[in-house]
């Protein structure tokens, strides 16, 4: 289910620092996408909470999700790229991770551990001092 957020986006453009030669100095090709998570009408309360939790490092104090693109020389291309990144980011952040179910320790691992303990015990027993008087009688 793909939601159409385009009406909730706001864009800012500025001069890019990317490739373009003299074009960089003249054209505002850098595109910044701003999306207010709390004001979105397309997201449920659960989805907003999940996005805020997973993308808290990308959300400003004002509640705006902020993405920037200055890869291309074209403002239109940068706008398309930043929208694509937004949908990828939102899609990944809305995936709920399955809870891990811990499994028991396998029998073979327990056996190996016991065998190692036995070997270590025998090795250390061999290092002990022998009481010669005990065997002379």
Domain boundaries along the sequence of the chain: 6-93, 107-136
CA distance 68 to 11: 10
Does the pLDDT of residue 24 top 80, yes or no? no
* 3-class state of residue 39 by DSSP: coil
- Cα–Cα dist 37/112, whole Å: 53
Fold type of domain 6-93: Double Stranded RNA Binding Domain (3.30.160)
Mean pLDDT, all residues of the chain = 84
Q: What pLDDT does residue 120 have? A: 96
pLDDT for 18 equals 57
Asked whether residue 1 carries a pLDDT value surpassing 60, the answer given is no
Task: Give per-residue pLDDT as tens, 34-72.
Answer: 888 888 888 888 888 888 888 888 888 888 888 888 888
- Please give the share of the chain, as a percent, with pLDDT higher than 90: 20
Pairing of strands 30-36, 9-14: antiparallel
**CA dihedral (88, 93, 94, 100) positive or negative:** positive
Residue 118: strand pairing partners = none
Q: Are 75 and 13 in contact (CB under 8 A)?
A: yes
Question: Model-level pTM greater than 0.85?
Answer: no
């Amino acid at each position: 289910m793909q939601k159409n957020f385009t009406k909730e986006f706001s864009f800012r453009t500025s001069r890019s620092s990317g490739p373009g030669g003299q074009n960089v100095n003249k054209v505002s090709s850098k595109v910044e996408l701003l999306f207010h998570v709390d004001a979105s009408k397309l997201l449920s309360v659960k989805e907003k909470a999940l996005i805020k939790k997973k993308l808290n490092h990308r959300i400003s104090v004002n509640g705006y999700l902020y993405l920037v693109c200055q890869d291309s020389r074209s403002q239109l291309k940068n706008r398309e790229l930043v929208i694509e990144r937004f949908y990828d980011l939102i899609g990944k952040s809305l995936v709920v991770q399955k809870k891990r179910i811990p499994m028991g320790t396998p029998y073979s691992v327990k056996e190996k551990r016991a065998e190692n303990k036995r070997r270590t015990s025998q090795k250390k027993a061999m290092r002990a001092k022998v009481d010669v008087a005990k065997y002379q009688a």
